[in-house]
Structure 1
């Protein structure tokens, strides 16, 4: 699963490309989504008492939150695992992914939802930077952790915890009323595409260095 692509990888990549293109084109054309209304209505049932919890979660997808987590894991990869290439790959993929997200936001120019924002925002809406950059960052960290794990149970736990964290970060952006659901979905789609490309570049250079 880690060393080569399988059928599910191709399927997920194809699905991500379709979702990324579909949402981008429709948002750029100023068209509305039925899904935005339905999911927003669903998340509106989340009690306000949970807002502090989601504010903490949303910080894990922000620059400061990612910076703190990055310091911990990059230190671990550099000082303990001696994986300089892995640490460099994470830093580079996140940095470029963040710039690509800014470019997409400027090109598509979708305004934020017209609600009272419960978290600070200072950019356009689509695709969600927390969803896109957060996906790249946590996916890559999980991949590097999985490289060293032998236990199938431990691998499943890492995958489940990473998926849960990303879903909660994405949900926090909707619950805090700073993004449309399709901003988050589009962000995850773009994030997956870039994370997969970055992972393969890392694997390519890792093989070259071993020769």
Structure 2
């Protein structure tokens, strides 16, 4: 399956998922998907909360900032890719602002549970899930361009997917989000990343003389 077709299918599925979730949220009653997934995560022992507290920091502002800066450094030192640096920075920074706007527009309150970490914003979509998806999907995209091996690309995709999943799971386990908040964050994050990947590819096609090569 071509990359463009994969992106298209992912966008369609994400939009469908968002519509489903938003309709359910607007009914102002518990969602079956929230109850089912929350019941599953309730089996996670409390002794693992410190581990998930550490995992959730990969989606915090500080974690996103550190990982993002490391990736920007790689794009500069290894690839001399100023387009890539700009796209990565804009996608993450503007994605974070878009998340704030979406939360205020949708206005969903946090779960009425004891929050295991401090939170001070509304609930849907999860900022950790959305911005984390944007960053780690973007990193996977740039790294996968480095390898022709399908096996290497699968491992990169698996690594990024695992990080994104664990960040989202941590938000539910720590009682600060409904599962549907996380799923909504994933969907918005995928659509947002796909848009910026399209912009990046269009710029590289428009300005072929600025295409990057690895620096030795």
TM-score (norm 2): 0.92
Aligned residues of 2:56 and 2:171 also touching (Cα < 8 A): yes
Aligned equivalent of 1:16: 14
Aligned counterpart, 1:5: 4
Give the unaligned 5+ runs of structure 1. Answer: none
What RMSD in Å do the two structures reach over aligned CA positions?
Answer: 1.4
Match of residue 90 from structure 1: 88
Question: Aligned partners of 1:60 and 1:210: how far apart in 2?
Answer: 35
Aligned partners of 2:7 and 2:194 also within 8 Å: no
Taking the TM superposition and a 5 Å limit, the aligned residue runs for 1:1-211 are 4-6=3-5, 8-210=6-208
Tell me the alpha carbon deviations over residues 10-34 of structure 1, each in whole angstroms, 9 at most, x when there is no partner. Answer: 2221110011122123323423201
Moved more, 60-69 or 146-155: 146-155
Partner Cα distance (2:29, 2:94) in 1:
29
Cα distance in structure 2, aligned partners of 1:38 and 1:158: 30
Provide the rounded CA distance (Å) in 2 between the counterparts of 1:38 and 1:26. Answer: 15
Report the more deviating stretch, 46-55 or 174-183: 46-55
Structure 2 distance, partners of 1:119, 1:41, is 20
Ranges in structure 2 where 5+ consecutive residues have no aligned partner:
210-216
Relative to structure 1, the CA distance from residue 194 to residue 19 in structure 2 (aligned partners, 3 Å threshold; closer, same or farther) is same
Question: Equivalents in 2 of 1:32, 1:139: separation in Å?
Answer: 30
Moved over 6 A (4+): none
